[in-house]
Structure 1
Amino acid sequence: MKTLFKLAIILLSMMMLLPSTTHSIVVESNESYIKSATFLSEKFEVGPGKVAVKTLLDIDFPKGHIGVKSFDVEVVDEVGKSVPLYETYLHHWFAVKYIENITMSHYIKQSHDLRNGIEFERNEGLCQGFLLPHYWGSGGESRGTSSNLPDPFAVELGNPTKLKDGFKEKWLFSIMVIDTRGTHDRKGCSECRCKLLNLPNNFYNVTVGINGQLLPRNYKGGLFCCQDNLQCKLRNDFHGPTRNLSLRYKIRWVDWDEHRVPLRFYILDSTDRVRSNGSTPIHDCQAEYTIPRNHDSDSPHVKKANIPMTKGGYLVYGTAHMHTGVVNTTLYGQDGRVLCTSNSKYGTGKEAGNEKGYLVGMSVCYPKPGSIKIKDGEVLTLESIYENKFRTGAMGHFYIYLADQIPKKDLNI
């Protein structure tokens, strides 16, 4: 279990935090069958320069056999005010599904021991092991990226016929936030550049990377330098208070019925170094990468991966999870056709959701139902394009929802 969490959900601080939230279910007036609720996660503390990497278990979630239509998240302060990225940078949030043995629930809650009684259920994505396992997730671009799924499609959850006897379905948040108030280099701190953090003296002697080996000394920055409670270096004259923050999240859903069409969710990674073992592809995703300094070229930095899809389907939704500096990300079919391009949006002001110089949104593709089909076994190409400037912890994750079938009325046949 220890290795699982280090390599899959990456350096989580395993804390049992009890949800403390009030909410009401609202039936949306313009679409009477869609329900929505807004929840507030347990609080987590940050201070100037501090990194918070937390796992929030058993978060509030709609119950029953449902189809989720959207899942939106933002960081708020003690009074519910949206927190801008230049104060607390939301590096990422992931919503991960797990099932819990009912007979073990009390023991897990009291002991915080997760080695027994919990099984994680990942998405359909192709990365090795349990890397990038979440069903929903994003980062600083959360507020400006749509998660809405068009009708009649939804993510099916809570189907009692698919749940193991004696288990119940639950959800957790894996989050990383970085308080950049008073730091020497806000942008560098948000990229987790190792030299900007007060790392332990033995950091490179004890810190293990994605491949299970010790980090090399030339690891310049990224997820592994942003561990829970580490500190970005502050200006000498800066003093600021600690704050208790929360994730505020809104979920929209429908009760499942015969009119709903289920979707499969995939996360593709532009760092995926696909190899083969005979006829079996082996996916070796790195989750992040460094863009080196290049003073000799004005051309953008391009990262590509060729990814075979064992099972295809009709593309219903596509977007990307990226970091500041990205230009766009494109998913191509095997014949070179463009399946989806997700373009970046940058802020121009000071208000939360429009922070100047920060990535605040990624565009979303909604193809006409049935117009784009990925074949079984088709090799897709994922291309992530960033500005050609030194960056650490760059990411190129592409999210797609696929349907096995399209209702005949939407196929125009």
Structure 2
Amino acid sequence: MVIDTRGAHDRKGCTECRCKLLNLPNNFYNVTLGINGQLLPRNYKGGLFCCQDNLQCKLRNDFHGRTRNLSLRYKIRWVDWDEHQVPLRFYILDSTDRVRSNGSTPIHDCQVEYTIPRIHDCDLPHVKKANIPMTKGGYLIYGTAHMHIGVVNTSLYGQDGRVLCTSKPKYGTGKEAENENGYLVGMSVCYPKPGSIKITDGEILTLESIYENKFRTGAMGHFYIYLADQIPNKDFTV
């Protein structure tokens, strides 16, 4: 997702996809389906569904911009497989997940995003937790969070309460790319020593996402982890 905030009337609200700040079509709530496949409720104030293709945030009256073309550039590197490399399994955990069960099969109910209400006369941060069973465990190789502006930190805990990984925000302080003042420009990454942290089959992990106590729309609490079934005996390579 790319959001153009140049000349936006409310840059912060624009990045949170506040519905009232975008040029939504008149029939938006009559035709737009949410993640559950049902029409969005009229009280949906912001998030992914208000940041659709070809929509734009309201601009300041004094702003005269121009269109520009953007492209994404990336590199893919291939390496020869050998005995020092092992396959990984990739999981995306979500603090909105409310897991139910159908016998022995867990049913995940991720909402992907959520709204943080402003609680007046309260200095405590907003906390959202999810208890997520891991049908298939493994050795934790990598972990990091995907969060939005206002995040304090996000932590993943094992069933015994041990901290598996805490991902902390980095906020920009300048004007250059990747250091934009006031914007969330990155989350810290965990690289545990290979073999030092093992998640067992069936273990229930707890994901805790903490935001500042401020009204926000489109908040997310995602955590990415890589697990390996075994660790190479010699040099470790992902």
- The whole-number CA distance in structure 1 between the counterparts of 2:27 and 2:88 is 46
Superposed CA deviations along residues 65-113 of structure 1, whole A, max 9, x for unmatched, are xxxxxxxxxxxxxxxxxxxxxxxxxxxxxxxxxxxxxxxxxxxxxxxxx
- Residue 179, structure 1, aligned to residue 7, structure 2: no
Match of 2:43 in 1: 218
SS at match of 1:281: strand
- The whole-number CA distance in structure 2 between the counterparts of 1:411 and 1:399 is 20
When residues 374 and 226 of structure 1 are mapped into structure 2, their CA distance, relative to the original with a 3 A threshold, is same
**Alpha-carbon shift at residue 336 of structure 1 (Å):** 0.4
Q: Gapped runs of 5+ residues in structure 1?
A: 1-175
**Alpha-carbon shift at residue 279 of structure 1 (Å):** 2.0
**Alpha-carbon shift at residue 262 of structure 1 (Å):** 1.0
SS at match of 1:224: helix
**Alpha-carbon shift at residue 407 of structure 1 (Å):** 2.0
**Alpha-carbon shift at residue 389 of structure 1 (Å):** 0.6
When residues 184 and 411 of structure 1 are mapped into structure 2, their CA distance, relative to the original with a 3 A threshold, is closer
**Alpha-carbon shift at residue 408 of structure 1 (Å):** 3.0
Matches within 5 A, 1:45-56: none
When residues 412 and 354 of structure 1 are mapped into structure 2, their CA distance, relative to the original with a 3 A threshold, is closer
- Residue 405, structure 1, aligned to residue 230, structure 2: yes
Higher mean C-alpha displacement, 243-252 vs 315-324: 243-252
**Alpha-carbon shift at residue 238 of structure 1 (Å):** 1.3
TM-score, normalising length: structure 2: 0.96
SS at match of 2:14: helix
**Alpha-carbon shift at residue 409 of structure 1 (Å):** 4.3
Superposed CA deviations along residues 17-43 of structure 1, whole A, max 9, x for unmatched, are xxxxxxxxxxxxxxxxxxxxxxxxxxx
When residues 229 and 411 of structure 1 are mapped into structure 2, their CA distance, relative to the original with a 3 A threshold, is closer
Superposed CA deviations along residues 141-167 of structure 1, whole A, max 9, x for unmatched, are xxxxxxxxxxxxxxxxxxxxxxxxxxx
- The whole-number CA distance in structure 2 between the counterparts of 1:240 and 1:345 is 29
Match of 1:191 in 2: 16
SS at match of 1:243: coil
Superposed CA deviations along residues 312-349 of structure 1, whole A, max 9, x for unmatched, are 00001100111111111100000100000011111111
1:222/1:288 contact within 8 Å kept: yes
Give the ranges of 4+ consecutive aligned residues of structure 1 lying more than 4 Å apart after TM superposition.
409-413
Which is strand-richer, 1 or 2? 1
Match of 1:206 among 31, 36, 55: 31
**Alpha-carbon shift at residue 412 of structure 1 (Å):** 17
Match of 2:188 among 363, 366, 369: 363
- The whole-number CA distance in structure 1 between the counterparts of 2:198 and 2:167 is 18
- The whole-number CA distance in structure 2 between the counterparts of 1:315 and 1:410 is 17
**Alpha-carbon shift at residue 190 of structure 1 (Å):** 0.9
Superposed CA deviations along residues 359-409 of structure 1, whole A, max 9, x for unmatched, are 111111111111100000000000011111111111111000000001234
Match of 1:241 in 2: 66
- The whole-number CA distance in structure 1 between the counterparts of 2:157 and 2:172 is 28
2:84/2:235 contact within 8 Å kept: no
Matches within 5 A, 1:160-179: 176-179=1-4
- The whole-number CA distance in structure 1 between the counterparts of 2:209 and 2:111 is 14
2:85/2:237 contact within 8 Å kept: no
**Alpha-carbon shift at residue 250 of structure 1 (Å):** 2.9
TM-score, normalising length: structure 1: 0.56
Match of 1:138 in 2: none
1:312/1:373 contact within 8 Å kept: yes
**Identity %, equivalent residues:** 91
- Residue 275, structure 1, aligned to residue 68, structure 2: no
Superposed CA deviations along residues 98-135 of structure 1, whole A, max 9, x for unmatched, are xxxxxxxxxxxxxxxxxxxxxxxxxxxxxxxxxxxxxx
- The whole-number CA distance in structure 2 between the counterparts of 1:411 and 1:220 is 47
**Alpha-carbon shift at residue 255 of structure 1 (Å):** 2.0
1:208/1:214 contact within 8 Å kept: yes
- The whole-number CA distance in structure 1 between the counterparts of 2:6 and 2:210 is 29
- The whole-number CA distance in structure 2 between the counterparts of 1:354 and 1:188 is 19
Match of 2:137 in 1: 312
- The whole-number CA distance in structure 2 between the counterparts of 1:287 and 1:411 is 33
**Alpha-carbon shift at residue 294 of structure 1 (Å):** 1.4
When residues 264 and 318 of structure 1 are mapped into structure 2, their CA distance, relative to the original with a 3 A threshold, is same
Match of 1:146 in 2: none
2:47/2:217 contact within 8 Å kept: yes
- The whole-number CA distance in structure 2 between the counterparts of 1:226 and 1:254 is 38
When residues 234 and 356 of structure 1 are mapped into structure 2, their CA distance, relative to the original with a 3 A threshold, is same
Match of 1:256 among 81, 84, 99: 81
Q: Gapped runs of 5+ residues in structure 2?
A: none
When residues 238 and 334 of structure 1 are mapped into structure 2, their CA distance, relative to the original with a 3 A threshold, is same
- The whole-number CA distance in structure 1 between the counterparts of 2:60 and 2:92 is 39
- The whole-number CA distance in structure 2 between the counterparts of 1:364 and 1:252 is 21
2:84/2:232 contact within 8 Å kept: no
1:370/1:410 contact within 8 Å kept: no
Match of 2:201 in 1: 376
2:94/2:130 contact within 8 Å kept: yes
- The whole-number CA distance in structure 2 between the counterparts of 1:215 and 1:240 is 32
- The whole-number CA distance in structure 2 between the counterparts of 1:383 and 1:251 is 33
Higher mean C-alpha displacement, 195-204 vs 309-318: 195-204
